Amino acid sequence: MSNQATLSETPEVWEAHEATPHPAAPAADPAPYQPVFFTAAEYACVEAMAARIIPADQTPGAKEAGVPAYLDETVQQDPQLHELYRRGLAPFIASGFADLSPSDQDAALKRLCEAGGAFWMSIRGLTIDGYYTSEIGLAELGYSGSTGLAEFKGCTHPEHRA
């Protein structure tokens, strides 16, 4: 299943959160990320959820792009999200979500998606924001940064020409 297929199978509406560009977790970083908001159990759960929302396939997934750290730092900075994430993660931690097989994790996330709610909308939205504002996500989109154009020909559709 491709990253794009995973995104297209979920609802299209979620709470708007501003995306903050961030680099992917450095590959050679000897020190593992230390969460600033989540407990170790919460972070393991967030890491597993992000890895299933945008899994690695032909390209690296959310986990490889550093999205769990992005989620941790984003939630830490927004006090309105603190209780939402504590309550939203609690049943997943209790069920041992981080240790489930990928297919069981997918089934649990599908149930969460079908139920909807603010927690699903937020974690899904922030995972997408975090992925597509990371170096890995931007590369997947083919974004190479601002480049100058020698010439701009405008719209090439005949019906749009004046």
143: phi then psi, degrees, rounded to nearest 5: -80, 125
Q: Which two tokens stand for residue 142?
A: 């083919």
**DSSP one-letter code for 26:** P
pLDDT of residue 88: 97
Q: Which residue has the tokens 């020909």?
A: 153
pLDDT score recorded for residue 109 = 97
81, 122 contact by CB (below 8 A): yes
Q: Is 101 helix (H, G, I), strand (E, B) or coil?
A: coil
CA distance 55 to 52: 5
Which of the 8 DSSP states describes residue 66?
Answer: T
| Contact present, 62 and 41 (Cβ < 8 Å) | no
Local confidence pLDDT in tens for the 162 residues of the chain: 455 444 444 444 333 333 445 555 555 556 889 999 999 999 999 999 999 999 999 889 999 999 999 999 999 999 999 999 999 999 999 999 999 999 999 999 999 999 999 999 999 999 999 999 999 888 888 887 777 767 777 777 777 665
The two three-digit tokens of residue 34, written as one number: 């230390």
Q: Which pairs count as long-range contacts for 78-81, CB under 8 Å and 24+ apart, including other chains?
A: 78/17, 81/122
pLDDT of residue 140: 85
* Separation between Cα atoms, residue 55 and residue 49, nearest integer Å: 9
3-state secondary structure of 5: helix
* Closest to 70 (Cα-Cα) out of 103, 25, 28: 25
Task: Tell me which DSSP letter residue 84 carries.
Answer: H
In the block, tokens 């981080």 appear at 98
